[in-house]
A and B are shown apart, each in its own frame.
Chain A
Amino acid sequence: MVNRAKIKELMNESACSHNKDKKKGEGCDKPKPGMAAGGCAFDGAQISLFPYADAVHLVHGPQTCLGASWETRETKTSYAGRDHTVMGFTTGITTNDVIFGGDKRLADSIDYIMEHYKPEAIFVYSTCVTALVGDDIDMTCSIASTKHGIPVVPVHAPGFVGGKNLGSRLAGEAVLENLIGTKEPEFTTPYDINLIGDYNVTGDMWQYLPIFEKIGIRVLSSMSGDGRVGDIRCAHRAKLNVIVCAKSLITLCRKMQENYGIPWVSVSFYGKRDTTFAIMEIVKALGDEALIKKAEAVIAEEEAKLENALKEYKELFAGKKAVLNTGGNKAWSIASGLQDLGIEVVATSIRKSTEDDIAKAREYLGENGLLMKAPASEQAKAIDERGAHILLAGGRSLYTAIKKKISFIDVNQEKKVSYGGYNGLLNLAQDLKHAFNNPVFANVSKKAPWEV
């Protein structure tokens, strides 16, 4: 069960930067009525755990929770069995369950799943309604686990306890309490790491895993991109936790450090500089001189290859300026990628950023870079004054780009290709090239015959 003490603990995570000099509107605050735009805690938990393709994810709740959310994320997996990440399982409770409780339905659903799908594990997600009526999900899961001989993990992140971020933390708690440390790996190496917080969306991880392999870093387990439940159970034997672009799972890392003595590093694989930095952080943390040497050599080789491939793009992008309007860490991570391609980022949004993100954005954009607090009203002016050639923003800003007759990329749209690692930069370059070359923005902005 989830209780207030746990929520409070997670909201006040000591290792989390939000809580130093915490200001209003930052990361872990409670949603304000009418103002919340993002997903709920259940959403966050789902995002953090759904990539386990060998497990079935059973949502114990009414229709909206799963009906509107399944098969919406491009979390790729190499799992050879039936990929459960692209499937939806819900108890879809009805009025009867609200009145009399849904435990029986839940138990029957688990039996049904075991009979027809035989997964390696089942995650059972509580939701607002089933948490409120007080279904004893822990007990049902525990009985089912004994009955079927697989982990049946209750995930207590009902939507009303908070936002996505908190949900991810709660998912981390569920994994820590129920899975990590319950199995021993077949073998270990001095270079075993856990990847935490990369969900392998559009295959992001596959951009950098081959490089890890070349260097000799072994991924023991993943939470949860292309992950396996069997592997995460062995996660306590890793030498290092690598947290990728996700503040939400810091609690998990801190607790694993306390319980198992595993240190952690926080990295991002977006753009050339960040990727190189990330790899060096990991090998330094593993602390083996030979490994560091190897990494340096591999990086040099990869960077040279990339620079070569980027040459034509850099020529094409010379002198181009961009305005960026997106939230959170994207404000600097995309900026970093654009700069790696030789594009000047003249303005970025800091509307939803934390203090850390703002500092980073300032660092990347430099003294003259414009940090927009109210991008919706500022971006048009920024485009004019700074002579930007492209706007990277959410769909709502498309009209601004059309009016200013400049190119546009929807950064919030579901990506089809990965922008991660060294090679992801080439994908980004290609998308930018297409956006710059496309006459559609100029064509659409032409006046109608009755407006001339």
Chain B
Amino acid sequence: MMELQKKIELSKHEHKPLQVNPIKHSQPMGAALAFMGIKNCLPLMHASQGCASYTKVFFTRHFNEPIAMYNTSVGDITAILDGGDYSILMSIENITKKNTTLKPELIGLHTTGLTETKGDDVRSVGVHIEIPYCYVNTPDFEGGMESGWALTCKALIKQHTLTCSEIKPSKLLLLPHVSMQPAEVEKIKEFCEGFGFETLALPDLSTSLDGYLSEGQGKLGTGAIGIDDIKALGDCETVISIGTSMKIAAEALLEKNDKITHLHFNHLMGLEMNDNFVASLMKIRQIEPRPMMKRWRGRLQDAMLDSHFLIGSSNFVITGEPDMCVGMCELLQSVGGTIEAVIATTYSPILKDIKATNVFVGDLEDAEIHFKNADLVISNFHAERLLHLQEKHTGLVLRGFPNYEELGNQLKNDQLYEGSTYFLFEVANKLREVKHHE
């Protein structure tokens, strides 16, 4: 029955009235995660209590960490009578009064479907708040996690970065897309620092959800970038957006200072894209890469050759956020892998650039049809049970949100020469297990 279904085209419009086994995650969740990547930020979800509770549990299980997450607990009365002011101001008062040691340096407020439907003016509430305040409109009936994260970055820059006409040579801002795990942000920062850049990332989860034992976790965001850093971003020499979703944040920064150079990379996976990346950094800094960078390039070349036989004879199905999918496809295709299908969470123009027969926005019900043609599936936690249901033995590499069961998600690294190398080996080894069974 399923086989007879016609090919699903890439479109902004849905191809069916519902989602069955969804992979899409909501905008508010992306916004919440972004605020967790800011130092001493109090992420405040303007919603009924369930939205925040679900989000908290979701990230707690993915990162295996206590999660800083608060909500305004909109009730039936406030849903109708309040314009947002009461619940937002009362929340901040209640939270800071209850815990006097809590010293938030930023209130990160974002909306949800409920508060957007009732139409709260979250912008004007800000005048009553003494702590620096950032608001972002993220209804969960629009966009997805990737856009929620990007909109939050844009809002932070737009509302807090001061306009500037000077630039500070060698100051660099990285704008990583939502699918990058804490270790990946850290690796890219280090890589840029290796070229002599003073490097900041927005948001910066590298010190937030990186799985680090310390006291008093999960109360405020502990990202490596603070509100003062954000204010002073206007003098960056260069801004690098990674992932198409992040272009809007880079553009917001350029409005603060038109002397800033904007470099964009769709992803940082595979040899070609990383060569472009390194060439750009070399050009700006006029220096050679460090010996270890060169060494890793050689290792990636070797890994490509080592893995090409297994990957080159295999079919893949990939599901996830668009910015993540596009990088994985290019890396796998660079060693001869065949992409059977890409099922994306939400629409993004970058999906058009993926060279595969089936690229569309959908859910795991749609993906399941393609599973039987795949040797390996790259998807989230939910794919595991579905793959167990089918007779054919298909491998699974878990990537994207959520990954409830595996440990160490925060330290997975698929970026740059180094991460790409490990990724290829992981995929190839998984394929070996599968093909061994046949």
- Residues of A that sit less than 8 Å from B by CB: 4, 7, 30-43, 58, 61-72, 86-95, 97-98, 105, 108-109, 112-113, 116, 128-129, 132-133, 158-163, 395-396, 399, 402-403, 414, 444
A68-B25 in contact (CB<8A) = yes
A64-B112 in contact (CB<8A) = yes
A67-B213 in contact (CB<8A) = no
A91-B18, A444-B213 known; A64 and B51 CB under 8 Å? yes
B50 at interface, CB cutoff 8 A: yes
A86 to B388, CA, bound (A): 13
B141-A93 in contact (CB<8A) = yes
B18-A35 in contact (CB<8A) = no
Please give me the residue from chain A that is nearest to B20 by CB atom.
A89
For A40, what are the chain B residues with a Cβ–Cβ distance below 8 Å?
A: 48-51, 53
A161 to B95, CA, bound (A): 22
A179 to B210, CA, bound (A): 48
Interchain CB contact (< 8 A) of A36 among B18, B24, B71:
B71
A159-B71 in contact (CB<8A) = no
A160-B79 in contact (CB<8A) = yes
Known: A7-B76, A36-B71, A395-B66. 7 other contacts (CB 8 A): A33-B72, A68-B25, A71-B381, A112-B18, A128-B74, A132-B117, A395-B60
For A37, what are the chain B residues with a Cβ–Cβ distance below 8 Å?
A: 49, 53
A399 to B66, CA, bound (A): 11
Contact mask for chain B residues 61-83; partner A; CB cutoff 8 A; 1 contact, 0 none: 10001100011111110110000
Interchain CB contact (< 8 A) of B57 among A62, A63, A72, A91:
A72
Chain B: how many interface residues by the 8 Å CB criterion? 70
B86 at interface, CB cutoff 8 A: yes
A128-B79, A132-B114 known; A36 and B141 CB under 8 Å? no
In the complex, how many angstroms separate the beta carbon of A3 from the nearest chain B beta carbon? 10
B66-A396 in contact (CB<8A) = yes
A452 to B135, CA, bound (A): 45
A33-B86, A33-B94, A62-B139 known; A402 and B18 CB under 8 Å? no
In the complex, how many angstroms separate the beta carbon of B211 from the nearest chain A beta carbon? 12
The 3 closest A-B pairs by CB, nearest first: A40-B50, A34-B91, A159-B48
A36-B26 in contact (CB<8A) = no
B58 at interface, CB cutoff 8 A: yes
For A69, what are the chain B residues with a Cβ–Cβ distance below 8 Å?
A: 54
For A72, what are the chain B residues with a Cβ–Cβ distance below 8 Å?
A: 57, 61, 404
Interchain CB contact (< 8 A) of B26 among A34, A62, A109, A159:
A62
A64 to B18, CA, bound (A): 14
In the complex, how many angstroms separate the beta carbon of B177 from the nearest chain A beta carbon? 18
A42-B50, A98-B117, A399-B213 known; A68 and B79 CB under 8 Å? no
B75-A160 in contact (CB<8A) = yes
A70-B21, A399-B213 known; A132 and B87 CB under 8 Å? no
A62 to B47, CA, bound (A): 13
A32-B73, A95-B142 known; A67 and B25 CB under 8 Å? yes
B17-A105 in contact (CB<8A) = yes
A132-B49 in contact (CB<8A) = no
In the complex, how many angstroms separate the beta carbon of A401 from the nearest chain B beta carbon? 12
A62-B21 in contact (CB<8A) = no
For B404, what are the chain A residues with a Cβ–Cβ distance below 8 Å?
A: 72
In the complex, how many angstroms separate the beta carbon of B233 from the nearest chain A beta carbon? 30
In the complex, how many angstroms separate the beta carbon of A131 from the nearest chain B beta carbon? 9
For A4, what are the chain B residues with a Cβ–Cβ distance below 8 Å?
A: 76
